[in-house]
Chain A
Amino acid sequence: MRYYLRKLAFYTVALWAALTLNFLLPRMMPGDPVDLMISKLAAKGPVSAETRRSLELLLGTKSDQPLVSQYVDYLGNLAHGDFGISVTFFPQTVSTTIAQTLPWTIALMGIATLISFAIGILLGQLAGWKRGSWLDNLIPVTTMFQAVPYFWLALVLLYLLSSVTQVFPTSGGYDVYNVTPGFNLPFLRSAAYYGTLPALTIVISSIAGWMLGMRNMMVATLSEDYIVTAEAKGLKPRRIMTTYAARNAVLPSLAGFATTLGFVVSGSIITEQVFSYPGIGMTLMSAVQNNDYALMQGVFLVITISVLGANLLVDLLYALIDPRTRARA
């Protein structure tokens, strides 16, 4: 119980830190983002006094209101889910824009990361089991892929598979002309087809890390006494590998899964930029390009909250799998 409380307390602090950072950053920067945004908004339509006030709360102004009461108002607005109005997708609110794009990112990145994790763990297990085999010697080669700048690899694959051979579509999340988004088979099939290439590039560039980590843990686990005991008992090698060694060796990778989620999100921003994928990363980038600070802050908060939530989930699950974590707390 103590462990769970500690974890919850930690993530509350982390969330508070993210909110505060989001509040302080625009106020510490030179220039007045509110005036910038108002002038952009005014170009697209009339700006009400409430919009201006909401923006001022979000971004801070040169107003004589003390910082503390600005901070309270800002937290109050967030509690209502009010992130303000987007300039880029005027007059849509930031919340609706995010709600439209978030599922795309979660589906693409979630599936790709799980595939990469599963294959990487499996191959790492085999490489650690048969140390010095061809698979094991392949590992230094796969780290090559890890050193490839992700977007560069994605662009090269895009060039080869979409421009030269035209196996996959060059951009987008689904066939905009022929299918309607929703829970119908043609749409899901189209989305899967459009998502294959982005997912493939993510898997290729992230699989080596899982493989290497699992291989090293496997090697360490295999030198434990209980493995010798299992061998002495005459158990089948296959059983020793999977239920004795791999089961314990996978624990650090599972714990590492939480910390990689941040990287997954970062990767997603660049992936979506390369493939023009309609996810939250694209939204963040178009917000940046249009100086749409309200949207930018909203997206940043949503990304942070998702990463924190996913981390919390992994931590809680991990405590279930590995009782030592609970005991140590």
Chain B
Amino acid sequence: MALSPKLAVGLTLCGGIALFGLLGPLFVGDPQRVDNIGLQPPGNGHLLGTTQTGQDVFAQLAYATRGSLLIGVVVGLLAVILAAGFGIIGAYIGGWVDEGFSLFSNVMLVLPGLPLMIVISSYVQNKGIWLVAGVLALTSWAGGARVLRAVTLSLRSRDYISASRVAGEKTWRILLVELLPNLVPLLAAMFVFAVIGAILGEAGLAFIGLGAGGSWTWGTMLFWAGNGLALRLGALWWFLPPGLLITVFGAGLAMINFSIDEIINPKLRDQTRRARRRWSASKRQIAATEEATR
């Protein structure tokens, strides 16, 4: 399949930022180093200017990118694993296990996430980055579990699953080899969604002062910028970059998600006249497809 323009743009944006997070910290100076040139605009040895205490914004940005991406990926993986565990296994086994799992994920779904996160994290002093990731994962898997359950319920009654059951395949093998491959696009979309959610969630949590202490993320950067009255002092170079990076990264992931959606559900694919002309279809063919999609 050819790379759709949406997918190409999404991959470029996300790949670029991921690369910056991976390699950036190797080339920049210490983000903590205090200097006596506070609030300097960009230029003059500091690519993005300095913070109130003279720390280099660009260096902070590189470390923050790494931290935020780490949280995003860890939370994304945990959330998908939890969602798959509760959604697929429950739906496949059925009976009271399904009832219990489904009840549990529905309860988790209706409990408001951020207040719960705030309450949990306010009881724990000195939070590490892993605790924050755990709390974020715990409050973000339930929606996915519900979707996976619905899809698994419809898959498990298909003939090929019954056939493999009759053929004596073990349950774990049916789950992993027969069921899971069909769910991969869905899981991928879920992962992408969870990564955006986690990065935004962490940023929000950090912004209100409940983020991981002593680590760099986009959220903690914004927290310090907010604390240092960056906007009121007109230090846009300090406040804008972290938010812009989150936005661009999120938009890139959303583009990737669009493309995954279009792979799962061909009905959503771009069907403008221009796109169809690009398949070098004749007028009659275009009319025919239009008739078919209507």
A285 adjacent to chain B (CB < 8 Å): yes
The answer on a CB contact under 8 Å between A304 and B112 is: yes
Task: Of the listed stretches B27-35, B39-47, B117-125, B167-175, name the one at the interface; the rest are far from the partner chain.
Answer: B117-125
B204 lies within 8 A of A149 (CB): yes
Q: Which residues of A contact B196 (CB under 8 A)?
A: 147
- With A13-B103, A149-B203, A152-B243 in contact, is A26–B123 under 8 Å at CB? yes
Cβ-defined partner of B122 (8 Å) among A219, A273, A296, A308:
A296
User: Which residues on A sit within 8 Å (CB–CB) of B115?
Assistant: 265-266, 269, 284, 299-300, 303-304
Given A147-B196, A231-B294, 20 additional A-B pairs, CB 8 A: A131-B271, A132-B270, A147-B247, A147-B250, A147-B253, A149-B246, A151-B222, A152-B243, A152-B246, A159-B231, A220-B265, A227-B294, A259-B110, A266-B204, A269-B114, A284-B115, A285-B208, A296-B119, A296-B122, A299-B115
Q: Which A-chain residue is minimally distant from B240 (CB atoms)? A: A156
Are A149 and B114 also in contact (CB < 8 A) when A17-B107, A131-B271, A155-B231 are? no
Q: Which of B110, B219, B258 contacts A311 (CB 8 A)?
A: B110
Range of interface residues on chain A?
Answer: 35 or more
Q: Give 6 nearest A-B pairs by CB, closest first.
A: A147-B250, A132-B272, A266-B114, A152-B243, A29-B123, A262-B112
Q: Are A146 and B250 in contact (CB under 8 A)?
A: yes
Taking the closest CB of chain A, its distance from the CB of B75, in whole angstroms, is 16
Instruction: Name the residue on A nearest B6 (C-beta).
Output: A140
Q: With A149-B243, A297-B119 as given contacts, are A303 and B222 in contact (CB-CB < 8 Å)?
A: no
Q: Which residue of A lies closest to B276 (CB)?
A: A132
Q: Could you give, for residues 11-24 of chain A, a 1 whenever the CB lies within 8 Å of some chain B CB and a 0 otherwise?
A: 10110011001100
Most buried by A among B6, B118, B124: B118
A143 near B: Cβ within 8 Å?
yes
A25 at the interface (CB under 8 A from B): yes
Per-residue CB contact flags for chain A residues 271-301 toward chain B (1 = under 8 Å, else 0) read: 0010000000000110011010000110110
Q: Find chain A residues with CB under 8 A from B240 CB.
A: 156
How many chain B residues touch A (Cβ–Cβ < 8 Å)? 60
- In contact, B243 and A307 (Cβ under 8 angstroms): no
Q: How far is the CB of B135 from chain A (nearest CB, A)?
A: 12
Residue contact A265 to B114, C-beta cutoff 8 Å: yes
- How far, in angstroms, from A304 to B115 measured CA to CA in the complex? 9
CB-defined contacts of B248 to chain A, threshold 8 Å: 147
CA of A22 to CA of B210 in the docked complex: distance in angstroms? 19
> Would you call A222 an interface residue if the criterion is a C-beta within 8 Å of the partner chain's C-beta atoms?
yes
Q: From residue 121 to 171 of chain A, which have CB atoms closer than 8 A to chain B?
A: 131-132, 140, 143-144, 146-153, 155-156, 158-159, 163
Nearest CB on A from B204, distance (A): 5
Across-interface contacts of A153 in B (CB, < 8 A): 243
In angstroms, Cα B122 to Cα A51, docked, is 22
Q: Does B293 contact A (CB under 8 A)?
A: yes
The smallest C-beta distance from A78 to any residue of chain B, in angstroms, reads 16
CB distance from A267 to the nearest CB of B (A): 8
Instruction: Please tell me if B54 contacts chain A, counting CB pairs below 8 Å.
Output: no
Residues of B close to A220: CB separation below 8 A: 265, 267
CB contacts under 8 Å to A, within B239-294, are 239-240, 242-243, 246-251, 253-255, 258, 261, 265, 267-268, 270-275, 293-294
Asked whether any CB of chain A lies closer than 8 Å to the CB of B207, the reply is yes
B210 partner residues in chain A, CB cutoff 8 A = 288
B contact residues around A39 at 8 Å (CB): none
Residues of B close to A262: CB separation below 8 A: 109-113
Contact of A150 among B204, B261, B268, B274 (CB under 8 A): B204
Tell me which of B222, B251, B254, B255 contacts A149 (CB under 8 A): B222
Can you list 24 A-B contacts (CB < 8 A)? A13-B103, A22-B119, A26-B123, A140-B255, A143-B251, A147-B251, A148-B247, A149-B207, A150-B200, A150-B204, A152-B222, A156-B231, A158-B231, A219-B267, A220-B267, A228-B294, A259-B110, A262-B109, A262-B110, A270-B114, A273-B208, A285-B118, A285-B208, A296-B122
B109's closest neighbor in chain A, by CB?
A259
Interface centre among B119, B231, B232 (most CB of A within 10 A): B119
Chain A positions within 8 Å of B131 at CB level: none
Determine the chain B residues whose CB is within 8 A of the CB of A265 once the complex forms: 112, 114-115
B116 within 8 A of A: yes
- Across-interface contacts of A10 in B (CB, < 8 A): 103, 106
Complex-state Cα separation, A307 to B109, whole angstroms: 11
B185 contacts chain A at the CB level, 8 A cutoff: no
Neighbour of B123 across the interface among A25, A143, A216, CB < 8 A: A25
Q: In the bound complex, do residue B143 and residue A259 qualify as a contact, i.e. CB atoms below 8 Å apart?
A: yes
A48 within 8 A of B: no
Q: Closest residue to A291 on the B side, CB-wise?
A: B122
